[in-house]
Structure formats: C-alpha cells, structure tokens
Amino acid sequence: MILTVTLNPSVDRALEVDALVRGEVLRAGDSHIDPGGKGVNVSRALLANGVRSTAVVPTGGAEGDQLVDLMKAEGVDMLAVPIAGRTRSNITLAEPDGTVTKINEVGPELSEAEFAEVSDAVLTAAGGAAWVVICGSLPPGPSVAAFTDLCERLVAAGARLAVDSSGPALLAGVAAGAALVKPNREELAEAVGGELRTLGDVIEACEKLRKAGAGAVLASLGADGAVLVDDAGVLTGISPVSVPRSTVGAGDALLAGFLSAGARGEAALIEGLAWGAAAVSLPGSRMPGPDDLDRTRIHIDSHPDPSRPLNRD
C-alpha cells in the first residue's frame, strides 16, 4: 500500500475552451469536476491501475464534503482529517492546442493543532505502507520546522519517504533524508538557485540534491521527459504525446507510475513516463488507467548527452 499525503487538497473544475480571450464572454465545451491535489492525484492514478493506496487529506466546509464525495465516487481509500477552514477550489481552462491556464486558491490555514492531527494520522497509517508520499505545497499555517519534523519522524520510523513539493518544503524533505524527491524543472532550478538550460544542468542539480540528503531524484521536465539520478547512475527518458489535452496532474501520474513499478531503474522510469504521457492525453485532471497506457513510444537513454538543450517553456 502507498500512503499519500496532500496538505492542501482541492476540488478541481476543468473547462475546455476554444481560445482564452481576456475580457470576453467564453462558452465552455466539456467540463469536469475532479478531486484535486498532487497526493490525491497520485492515489487516483494508483487506484486506476489496481495499486492499493490511501490518501490523507485535511477537509473543511462544503467544498471539503464535496471532495470527500468525489473521492468516494472514485473508490479512493482516504483518511479525512476535519479542519475549521474551507477546502479550496481550483479552476483549469484548457485550450485545444494543450495550453492550460490554472487559477488556484491559496487554501485554508491549518492551525498548529490541526497540523498535529494530520501528522498523527500520517504517522499512524505509515506503519503499513510501502511508501509515504507527501505531495504539493504547504498550506498557510504550518511552519517549515513543523513540516521538517514530520519528515524526520517518518524517516526515523523506517518509512520510505517521497516528497513532491517546492521551495522550503522540498528542501526540508531532502535534508530529512527522503528516499525520493520529484521536482519539476522550475522547482529543481529554485532548489539549487540556478537556471537549467541543458540536460547536464539538470543532472548536476539532481546530484546536488542527492549530496544534500535525498536518496534519488526524479525530475519531470515536461516535453523534455524526465531524468532519474540515483546510486545506480543517470537515466533519461522521453515519451512524446501526439495530441496533448491537459498537463494538469501529469507529474503526479508520472510519480505514481514510477512508484508502482518499484521506484528504481529503467522499468520504473518507463512506467512513470507512460502514465505521465497518458495523463497529458486526457482532459482536466483525469488519471489514466491500463487502457490509456502506451509504453512503445518511450525512449530511454542511459548515456545522455549533457549538452542537449532543454526546450523553452
């Protein structure tokens, strides 16, 4: 079982529009409402592919009730921790060429007592988990020190910890000795304090995080695929998508696929890339199932060219 932790979950509404024109009245095509938050998406992707997962989520207000109902409707096993604030709602506008515009609320503030309740729920459930995966940004309220303490307690208890976050929370996971961290290109650049223009820049940045305490680094690079750096060396992979529909949740699907296949080596990277590419081909924040996966288009390179330039975002 893989335990996911989403400290700032959401209800995600995705609308498909022909073109995003500022100041105009737009008519939406298809629309979708999904449970949201990076860890929630990881659990949803795992469930869609027959892998057991439990999601820990703080929930509050009518939106929190809606989130719980949406997760139940998809069959996601969860530990919902009640909070006083209102669970946030996010809006995604997707255009036919794959361009996505997201409007994310900040989310409710978690009090010290509420964060302690969430932490206790995580630590209790972690005993039966193959992985504990903490995903997404910190909500207002909890200090970096409190988040660091949670990570350190999980590692000390013997949990295999994966952290997919940004800024101080990502660095806290690294310093705590997380077995895996999964930044995207922007998060990785921020973590090392420098621009990433080439594949070599990415590899060097991943190595810096490993030297700082992370066991392995899986960096998602959008159209440039992904890079895996661990004690076995460096692997890169690309999985082209012919008709992109939405990038929302693609990195979460990548992480879920990677974990489902053992989180190590070429086979796990192939699985992660297949899940991520499939998510890009689906609307909104839909997570792919077995019928959506295509592993034949994936190219893995164990001797990548470090001078290869990255695509411009």
CA distances from 149 to 34, 144, 232 (A): 31, 9, 29
Structure tokens at 273: 């890339």
Given the residues 252, 291, 292, 313, the one annotated as active site: 252
The secondary structure of 11-29 as a DSSP string is EEEEEE-S---TTS-----
CA distances from 28 to 25, 50, 102, 279, 285 (A): 10, 33, 15, 21, 16
77 is catalytic: no
Handedness of CA 49, 54, 57, 62 (dihedral sign): positive
Secondary structure class of 161 (helix, strand, coil): strand
Cβ within 8 Å of residue 55, ≥6 positions away? 3, 4, 5, 6, 39, 40, 43, 71, 76, 77, 78, 79
Which residue numbers are catalytic? 252
